[in-house]
């Protein structure tokens, strides 16, 4: 199984109005996560599941928490739990997670009836998945954990927030907490470009210089230099961003205004060219300023309802939080 296909939890929106690659109607309300199976009747968990004989019967061995390799998992076929059970296999020594935060989680999922492996995320291939903490389903479970923890869980898939059907076994590593703003080292800013100052919560305030004109090519400036993984074309990234028009500085879209980071695929099939140009090659933890040419934005066909005029040059400030 490939990443992002197992968990149907509503984590973060996938594509937003100001970043959609193409014109269309500009609705931009697609979600990165599929909905739970319509045939599922189990009530999603909303509090910390207790350990029980079923979850205690899951034997986990091998790889250390947060490693690239999946741990060994063994349990008796036919394992089930009418109410989800969770056993802490390795206690975490990191920060306790709270509702509303985000965490990077690696996990492996098995069908409880026959112990067949359904898939893995972050183990053996790819990166940990960024999940929201709190709410119902697997997010509720994460709100009961600490960074560095490994948990073994058993329960009905719908109750845990999966759409695989039946009872499942999940072994998950809470790898890290994901910040909600860029944490890189501040860099000198070019006064000829729009300047940026962060509010206390990290939301950028963008000041457009007097007489600013559309650039002849898309300009990219690193405002904070991160030290994490490098974003490549086609990667999934979790970001905070704000977009304004170069002419007048009017905001047209912002994850900060929506109250949560956004995740999307960094490619021209999903995003405007200027946004992709600005992010490819940048490191997680960085804050990046992007000033697009009209051609690298929406040109003569801006999204309906966006308020963006034709042939507008756009300014984005993007905090790169995680590589998904």
d(CA 146, CA 94): 6
Q: Which class would CATH give 38-178?
A: alpha beta
Q: How confident is the model at residue 10 (pLDDT cuts 50, 70, 90)?
A: very low
How many CB atoms are closer than 10 A to CB 144?
18
d(CA 99, CA 21): 32
Q: Would you say 226 and 179 are in contact if contact means Cβ atoms under 8 Å apart?
A: no
Which residues of the chain are in CATH 3.10.50.40 domains? 38-178, 185-323
Q: How confident is the model at residue 124 (pLDDT cuts 50, 70, 90)?
A: confident
What tens digit of pLDDT does each residue of 258-302 get?
988 888 899 998 899 999 999 999 999 999 999 999 999 999 999
What tens digit of pLDDT does each residue of 249-259 get?
999 999 999 98
Q: Would you say 104 and 176 are in contact if contact means Cβ atoms under 8 Å apart?
A: yes
> Which tokens hold the place of 28?
């931009």
Q: What is the pLDDT of residue 42?
A: 64
Q: What is the pLDDT of residue 242?
A: 97
d(CA 9, CA 74): 26
Q: What is the DSSP letter of 17?
A: G
Q: What is the pLDDT of residue 17?
A: 30
Mean pLDDT for all residues in the chain: 85
**Is the pLDDT at 25 greater than 70, yes or no?**
no
**Is the pLDDT at 70 greater than 60, yes or no?**
yes
Give the CA radius of gyration of the chain.
21
d(CA 140, CA 48): 7
Q: How confident is the model at residue 62 (pLDDT cuts 50, 70, 90)?
A: confident
Report percent pLDDT > 90 for the chain.
Answer: 69
d(CA 238, CA 1): 21
Instruction: Report the predicted TM-score, pTM, of the whole model to 2 decimal places.
Output: 0.74
User: CATH number of 185-323: 3.40.1350.10, 3.40.50.300, 3.50.50.60, 3.10.50.40?
Assistant: 3.10.50.40
CA distances from 204 to 54, 58, 266 (A): 48, 46, 21
* φ, ψ dihedrals at 207, nearest 5°: -110, 120
Q: Would you say 280 and 274 are in contact if contact means Cβ atoms under 8 Å apart?
A: no
Q: What is the DSSP letter of 200?
A: T
Q: What is the pLDDT of residue 216?
A: 96
d(CA 92, CA 159): 24
């Amino acid at each position: 199984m490939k990443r992002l296909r197992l968990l149907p939890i509503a984590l973060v929106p996938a594509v937003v109005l100001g970043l959609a690659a193409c014109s269309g109607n500009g609705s931009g309300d697609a979600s990165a996560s599929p909905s739970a199976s319509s045939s599922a009747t189990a009530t999603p968990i909303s509090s910390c599941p207790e350990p029980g004989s079923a979850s205690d019967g899951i034997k986990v061995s091998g790889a250390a928490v947060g490693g690239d390799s999946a741990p060994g998992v063994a349990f008796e076929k036919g394992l089930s739990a009418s109410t989800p059970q969770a056993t802490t296999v390795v206690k975490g020594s990191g920060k306790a997670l709270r509702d509303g935060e985000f965490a990077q989680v690696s996990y492996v999922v098995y069908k409880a009836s026959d112990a067949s492996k359904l898939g893995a995320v972050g183990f053996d291939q790819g990166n940990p998945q960024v999940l929201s903490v709190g709410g119902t389903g697997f997010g509720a479970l994460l709100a009961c954990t600490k960074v560095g923890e490994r948990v073994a869980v058993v329960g009905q898939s719908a109750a845990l927030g999966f759409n695989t059907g039946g009872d499942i076994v999940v072994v998950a590593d809470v790898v890290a907490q994901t910040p909600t703003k860029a944490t890189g080292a501040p860099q000198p800013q070019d006064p000829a470009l729009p300047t940026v100052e962060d509010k206390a919560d990290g939301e950028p305030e963008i000041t457009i210089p007097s007489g600013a004109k559309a650039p002849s090519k898309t300009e990219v400036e690193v405002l904070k230099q991160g030290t994490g993984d490098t974003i490549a074309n086609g990667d999934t990234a979790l970001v905070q961003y704000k977009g304004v028009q170069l002419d007048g500085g009017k905001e047209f879209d912002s994850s900060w205004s929506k109250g949560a980071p956004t995740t999307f695929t960094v490619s021209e099939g999903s995003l405007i060219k200027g946004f992709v140009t600005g992010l490819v090659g940048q490191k997680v933890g960085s804050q990046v300023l992007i000033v697009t040419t009209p051609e690298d934005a929406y040109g003569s066909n801006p999204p309906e309802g966006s308020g963006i005029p034709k042939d507008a040059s756009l300014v984005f400030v993007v905090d790169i939080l995680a590589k998904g």
